Structure 1
Amino acid sequence: MTKQTAKTTERSLAIINTIQELGGATLDELVDEVDISRSTIHLHLRTLLDKGYLTKEGAVYQIGLRFLNHGEYARSQKRAYTLAKQTVTELSDQIDEEVEFVVENNGRGILVHESFHPDSHIPSKERHLSTAPSAAGIYYDLHCVATGKAILAELPAERVETILDNWGLPRQTANTITERAVLSQELEQIRERGIAFADEEYVDGLREVGRPVKEPDGNVLGAIAIIGPKYRFTDNRYTDELPDILTQYVDELETEIESTYVDELSR
């Protein structure tokens, strides 16, 4: 059954996404890229510009800072997200590696918090792929990162199939899993141990160790991953030491989250 959607909203979102993908766009460029009439695009641009969701520099439209207000509100609305940020920072400080907290959004993983230790000597995952000053808000395909696989392992099978139907298994590196049967087998292993690995599956040279973060009701809140260069993530450190440290921090985080829920219910 096809869900009903608001076409006007869909058109605005298509324009916004295209502007971001192009790094700014003129009206002519949007007409070439978006399957919407010129007059309709212009009307959407004028409305978004008037409301502060877009800015205009000469003939080029850019994403406006009003989205930052909404994004920061989304990150702060859940107390659990704030607690996860503290865990990410503390864990990164202890192990001197990049740590990320990712949640599932519309079938993909969105980076909510990242801590990149200043003494580390390798650029973060996103600095390999993006010139953006902040990695927060960047989307990942779930099948090729440790956080994503940790989340997928906790979702119902029907939800996993829907995600894979919508987004597929695009290849990022030679090590990316691109077959559903292989991914399904690995998700089963993740459920058994509670730890997900990504071995140069998103960026060449980087390894990741991830673990799901669960809410008190058992649903998955998101996942935390430790990320670093293959030459430092070797042997026992990669397979046992880092997973044990990550498990300890996530267990403590889940305990804090549960305490927060209990406090809120008792008010």
Structure 2
Amino acid sequence: MAGDEKLTTTATSIRLLEAVSEQEGATLRSLVKETDLAKSTVYKHLSTLQANNLLIKKGEQYLLGLHHLTLGKRAVEMRDSYRLVEKKIDELRNRTEADIDFTVEENGRLILVSEATRTMSESIFVPGNEFYLHNTAAGKAILASYSDNRVDAILDRHGLPLRTDKTIQSRSKLKSELKSIREKGYALNDGECIEGYRSVGSVIMDPSDSVLGAISIGGPAYRVDRARLEDDFSELVCNTTSEITESLS
């Protein structure tokens, strides 16, 4: 089999996995319609993914296999620096009643690695969840640390999807805010991703002076007013990320 054909086969399998995820479970028929591929081709890919524990089948529906959880857990464990961050997050949870999370950017998306909430029953985020960068405090803090060319590449790929009526929809407005974030050292999110949810975020740098990820602190607007966010929480998150950056170096 030629190299290009192997790559095409792999890309097709990945495309089917993503389709199953987006549809929150899918049938052979819906996947054929989604991909416009031959039924026999889709079936072979699904069978291979199922045999490798990446998909399971219940009745006529294909679902993501829980083996993805194992892979995700290993992905976190393979990064020693994350352990220090998680230790700091636990310490913050004991010092404040806010929600704290650690996120990283991969392929232009923000991925939640770990989180500590005021009460776990109130958690609205789940590790592994993905978000856009332009409408979250952590995401904007990360974007502010990137070059204009890298920011443009991410926006060209993912755009500025609308999530609430406060979501930034103008590239020029976002870039103006990124400039302000660079000056202040932290980013704010006031209901731009989830209505009624506020947070402040700051980046962690690794020893190579690249962005490792970001920590954000926040909570529902009824618990976290704007003044507390900009005064107490901004100082707390900046001090924490500075301590971690210094420890890593």
TM-score, with normalisation over the residues of structure 1? 0.87
Match of 2:100 in 1: 99
Q: Is the 8 A contact 1:125 1:203 kept in 2?
A: no
SS of the aligned residue for 1:144 comes to coil
Does residue 254 (structure 1) correspond to residue 242 (structure 2)? The answer is no
SS of the aligned residue for 2:86 comes to helix
Does residue 74 (structure 1) correspond to residue 75 (structure 2)? The answer is yes
Task: Please list, as runs of the form range in 1=range in 2, the aligned pairs for 1:64-143 lying within 5 A after superposition.
Answer: 64-118=65-119, 123-126=122-125, 135-143=126-134
Q: Distance in 1 between matches of 2:50 and 2:226?
A: 53
- Give the direction of change, closer, same or farther, for the CA distance of 1:54–1:221 in structure 2 (3 Å limit): same
Q: Specify which of 140, 144, 147 is matched with residue 138 of structure 2.
A: 147
Q: CA deviation at 1:229?
A: 1.6
2:154 alignment partner AA = I
Report the identity percentage. Answer: 38
1:207 alignment partner AA = R
* Segment of structure 1 superposing worse, 103-112 or 58-67: 58-67
Deviations 1:120-179 (A, max 9, x none): 8xx3343xxxxxxxx111110100000000000111211110000010001111111110
4+ runs of 1 displaced by more than 3 Å? 123-126
SS of the aligned residue for 2:134 comes to helix
1:192 alignment partner AA = E
Q: CA deviation at 1:65?
A: 2.0
Q: CA deviation at 1:235?
A: 4.4
Does residue 228 (structure 1) correspond to residue 219 (structure 2)? The answer is yes
How many residues are matched? 245
Q: Distance in 2 between matches of 1:48 and 1:107?
A: 26
Q: CA deviation at 1:222?
A: 0.7
Q: Distance in 1 between matches of 2:26 and 2:220?
A: 36
Does residue 238 (structure 1) correspond to residue 238 (structure 2)? The answer is no
- Give the direction of change, closer, same or farther, for the CA distance of 1:155–1:231 in structure 2 (3 Å limit): same
Q: CA deviation at 1:232?
A: 2.7
Deviations 1:213-249 (A, max 9, x none): 1112221111110121223322431111111111121
Q: CA deviation at 1:64?
A: 1.1
Q: Distance in 2 between matches of 1:138 and 1:8?
A: 27
SS of the aligned residue for 1:233 comes to coil
SS of the aligned residue for 1:36 comes to coil
Q: Is the 8 A contact 1:96 1:119 kept in 2?
A: no
Give the unaligned 5+ runs of structure 1.
127-134, 259-267
Q: Distance in 2 between matches of 1:253 and 1:136?
A: 20
- Give the direction of change, closer, same or farther, for the CA distance of 1:235–1:47 in structure 2 (3 Å limit): closer
Match of 1:62 in 2: 63
TM-score, with normalisation over the residues of structure 2? 0.93
Q: Is the 8 A contact 2:218 2:229 kept in 1?
A: no
Match of 1:181 in 2: 172
SS of the aligned residue for 2:195 comes to coil
SS of the aligned residue for 1:88 comes to helix
1:43 alignment partner AA = K
Give the unaligned 5+ runs of structure 2.
none
Match of 1:201 in 2: 192
1:30 alignment partner AA = L
- Give the direction of change, closer, same or farther, for the CA distance of 1:165–1:137 in structure 2 (3 Å limit): same
Deviations 1:48-73 (A, max 9, x none): 11111111112211111222221111
Q: Distance in 2 between matches of 1:36 and 1:164?
A: 30
- Give the direction of change, closer, same or farther, for the CA distance of 1:164–1:215 in structure 2 (3 Å limit): same
